[in-house]
Amino acid sequence: MSDIKKVVLAYSGGLDTSVILQWLQDTYQCEVVTFTADIGQGEELEPARLKAEKFGIKQIYIDDLREEFVRDFVFPMFRANAVYEGEYLLGTSIARPLIAKRQIEIARATGADAVSHGATGKGNDQVRFELGYYALEPGIKVIAPWREWDLTSREKLLAYAEAHGISVEMKHKAGGSPYSMDANLLHISYEGKILEDPAREPEEEMWRWSVAPEVAPDRAEYLDLEFERGDVVALNSQRMTPAMVLTELNRLGGAHGIGRLDLVENRYVGMKSRGCYETPGGTILLKAHRAMESITLDREVAHLKDDLMPRYASLIYTGYWWSPERRALQTLIDDTQTPVNGWVRLKLYKGNVIVVGRDSRTDSLFDANISTFEDDGGAYQQADAAGFIRLNALRLRIAARLQR
C-alpha cells in the first residue's frame, strides 16, 4: 500500500497526462487532484475538466494564469534580452516555474503530500518542474511516471490509452505518434516524428501560428510599441495589459511569417535534441526592447547586461528560476530598466522585424549635437581623441617593442 494519499497532477488533458491520471490511480491507489493552467495555449480547457470528471476526479483546478505568466515571468525575462544558445527564446522553459508554483500552492490548499508531472526522463522539463517544487516546498514528494513505468514510447502510450478507453486527439493518419507539442502565450514548440532527423525540413502543415514568409503580405506593416521601465505598455498608442500585448504581437507577427525557428539545442540532461518553435510576439518584443535600450542605457551597463545574459538565460533553461542567483541577477537587471522608457517603431515584412525609429523624451542618451557629422559648434573636441588613442595604445606599443 502506497504512503501517498493525495497527489496534485499537472494535467493538460492530452495523451501523456491522461494516461498518467489513470496510471496514478491504478499504481498508487491515491486521490488525484488535477491542475490545468491556462497560460495562453489557445485551446478550450473545458475538455480537460470533462476528462478529469470521467476519471472520477473530485478536485479539479483550471486557472487562468495568462496575465501572471506574461507580467511576472515573460516580461522580466525579456528585460534581460534572454536568448539560449543564440537563438531560443525560452518559451517552454519560462512557463515551468509558474506551473510548479501553482501546483505547490494547490498541494498546500488541498493537503496533498505529492505532486506529479508528465515530463519524460530524457527531457529538461523534469528538472525544471522538480527544482521548482523543491525550492518552494522542500519536503514535497514527487512522482515522475516516465521514470517509473514501462510505457517507454508514444505508441505504447496510445495502446495503453486505447485499452483503458482514454480518448486521444491528433492521432497521425498513418497510425504513428503525434508531434510532441507545447504551447503557451509566448510560443509553440514541436518535437518528434520527422523532426528527429535534423537533416529533414519540417512539414509546412506542422506550423500553426505563422504563415510561411514566402506567402506573407507583400506590403509591410508598421507598429509602435511604448515602453515603461523596460516593459511594453501600449501598442499603436493603445494601452494594454501584458497578456493583451503579447496576444496582439503574436497575431501581427504570425501574419507576417515572423518567429519560426528550427534548432538543435543542448539539453541540460546531456543530449542534443532538435525542435521547432514559433515565437512571433517574442521575436518582435526582443527586437523592440533592444532598440529601446540602445538609446536609454549607458554603454557599460548595456555591455554588462550582455555579458550576464547567457548566464541568466541558462538559469532559466535549466530550471533555476527560483534560485538565489537568478533572483540576484533579476534585481540587477530590473534596476537597469528604470530609464528604459519611450517608443520604438517597427516594420514587419516577410519574416523580418526591422527597427525604423526609436525615441525617449525623458531618458534618451542620444545627443545629435555631439554625434552629428555636421558642425557641432564645439560640443565635441575632436583633437582630444589623439591623446585618448595614444593612452589606449600604450600597452600595445610596449608589447610590440618586446616582440621585436
Q: Which of 38, 116, 125, 154 is catalytic?
A: 125
pLDDT per position as a tens digit, 98-127: 999 999 999 999 999 999 999 989 999 999
Alpha carbon distance 376, 292 (integer Å):
25
Task: State the pLDDT confidence band at 178, using cuts at 50, 70 and 90.
Answer: low
| Between 244 and 48, the higher pLDDT residue | 244
Average pLDDT, the chain: 94
pLDDT over threshold 60, residue 174: no
Question: Higher pLDDT residue, 3 or 281?
Answer: 281
Spatial CB neighbours of 263, under 8 Å, sequence gap ≥ 6: 85, 87, 88, 274, 275, 276, 277
- pLDDT of 170 over the 60 cut: no
In this predicted structure, what is the pLDDT of residue 77? Answer: 98
Domains of the chain in sequence order: 6-66+89-178 (3.40.50.620), 183-359 (3.90.1260.10), 370-403 (no CATH)
Q: What is the pLDDT of residue 177?
A: 41
Question: Mean of the pLDDT values across residues 194-212?
Answer: 96
CA distance 321 to 330: 10
pLDDT tens profile 376-392:
888 999 999 999 999 99
pLDDT at position 168, please? 72
Is the dihedral angle over the CA atoms 12, 18, 23, 26 positive or is it negative? positive
DSSP 43-83: S-SHHHHHHHHHTT-S-EEEEE-HHHHIIIIIHHHHHTT--
What is the mean predicted confidence (pLDDT) over 165-183?
64
Structural contact between residues 98 and 37, judged by C-beta atoms closer than 8 angstroms:
yes
Q: What is the mean pLDDT of residues 66-92?
A: 98
Looking at residue 173, what is its pLDDT? 39
CB 79 within 8 A of CB 289: yes
Among 259-273, 331-345, 364-378, the minimum mean pLDDT is found in 364-378
Helical spans, DSSP H, in 297-383: 299-317, 324-336, 368-371
Identify the DSSP state of 145: G
**For range 47-59, the mean pLDDT:** 92
Say yes or no to pLDDT of 244 above 60: yes
Catalytic residue, from 49, 66, 79, 96: name it.
96
Share of the chain above pLDDT 70, in %: 97
- CA-to-CA dists, residue 340 to 169, 326, 362, angstroms: 45, 21, 10
The residue among 275, 378, 284 whose CA lies nearest residue 317 is 275
- Residue 96 falls in the annotated catalytic set: yes
Q: Which pLDDT does position 172 carry in this prediction? A: 43
* Nearby residues of 25 by Cβ (< 8 Å), 6 or more positions away: 32, 55, 56
Check residue 169 and give its pLDDT. 64
Q: For residues 318 and 127, what is the distance between their CA atoms, to the nearest angstrom? A: 7
Average pLDDT over every residue of 148-152: 90
Q: Provide φ and ψ at 361, rounded to 5°.
A: -70, -30
Can you give the pLDDT at residue 202? 95
Q: What grid cell was written down for 259?
A: 518567429
Tens of pLDDT, residues 222-242: 999 999 999 999 999 999 999
Query: Could you confirm whether 189 is annotated as catalytic?
Result: no
The reply to whether 273 belongs to the active site is no
Give yes or no: 335 in active site.
no
pLDDT(189) > 60: yes
Between 69 and 151, residue with greater pLDDT: 69
- Arithmetic mean of pLDDT, 273-286: 98
Alpha carbon separation from 285 to 219, 224, 234, 254, 334 (Å, rounded): 21, 11, 12, 13, 17
- Rounded to 10°, the helix 154-163/15-28 angle is 60
Residue 181 is given by DSSP the state E
Helix (H, G, I), strand (E, B) or coil at 178: coil
Q: What is the pLDDT of residue 164?
A: 87
Task: Exactly one of 12, 93, 116, 180 is catalytic; name it.
Answer: 180
